[in-house]
Amino acid sequence: MSNTPAIDIHNLTASYERKPVLWEIDCQFPQGKLVGIVGPNGSGKTTLLKNIMGLMKPDSGYVRIFGDKLNSVRHRVSYVPQRETVDWDFPADVMDVVLMGRYNPKKLFNRITQEDRDIAVEALKRVNMLEFSRRHISQLSGGQQQRVFIARSLAQQADLYLMDEPFVGVDAASEDAILSLLTEMKNSGKTVVIVHHDLQTAFEYFDHIALLNTRLVACGPTEEVFTSDLLQEAYGGRLTVLSRIGELIAKKDFPIREKGQENN
> d(Cα 94, Cα 114) in Å, to the nearest integer?
17
Q: Which residue has the higher pLDDT, 29 or 171?
A: 29
pLDDT confidence of residue 257: 52
171: three-class secondary structure by DSSP: coil
Q: Which residue has the higher pLDDT, 164 or 81?
A: 164
- Whether the pLDDT of residue 32 is over 80: the answer is yes
pLDDT confidence of residue 262: 46
pLDDT confidence of residue 241: 41
pLDDT confidence of residue 10: 97
The model's confidence at residue 103, banded by pLDDT at 50, 70 and 90, is confident
- Whether the pLDDT of residue 68 is over 50: the answer is yes
In the chain, % of residues over pLDDT 70: 86
- Whether the pLDDT of residue 255 is over 60: the answer is no
Q: Identify which of 233, 230, 228 has the alpha carbon closest to the alpha carbon of residue 220.
A: 230
Is there a contact between 81 and 55 (Cβ–Cβ < 8 Å)?
no
- Whether the pLDDT of residue 244 is over 50: the answer is no
Q: What are the chain's domains?
A: 7-225 (3.40.50.300)
- Whether the pLDDT of residue 170 is over 50: the answer is yes
DSSP class of residue 6 equals S
Angle at 259 between CA 40 and CA 183, to 5 degrees: 75
The model's confidence at residue 242, banded by pLDDT at 50, 70 and 90, is very low
- Whether the pLDDT of residue 45 is over 90: the answer is yes
- Whether the pLDDT of residue 70 is over 50: the answer is yes
Q: The pTM is what?
A: 0.86
169-188 mean pLDDT: 88
Instruction: Give residue 216's Cα distance to chain centre.
Output: 18
pLDDT confidence of residue 261: 47
128-149 mean pLDDT: 91
φ, ψ of residue 175 to 5 degrees: the values are -60, -45
The model's confidence at residue 152, banded by pLDDT at 50, 70 and 90, is very high
The model's confidence at residue 264, banded by pLDDT at 50, 70 and 90, is low
H helix runs in the chain, sequence order? 45-52, 70-73, 94-99, 114-126, 142-155, 172-187, 199-205, 222-225, 228-235, 237-241, 245-250
Please list, in sequence order, all residues whose beta carbon lies within 8 angstroms of the beta carbon of residue 2, skipping any fewer than 6 positions away. 31, 66
Which span out of 31-45, 69-83, 222-236, 245-259 was modeled with the highest average pLDDT? 31-45
- Whether the pLDDT of residue 206 is over 90: the answer is yes
pLDDT, tens only, 18-27: 888 999 999 9
pLDDT confidence of residue 107: 58
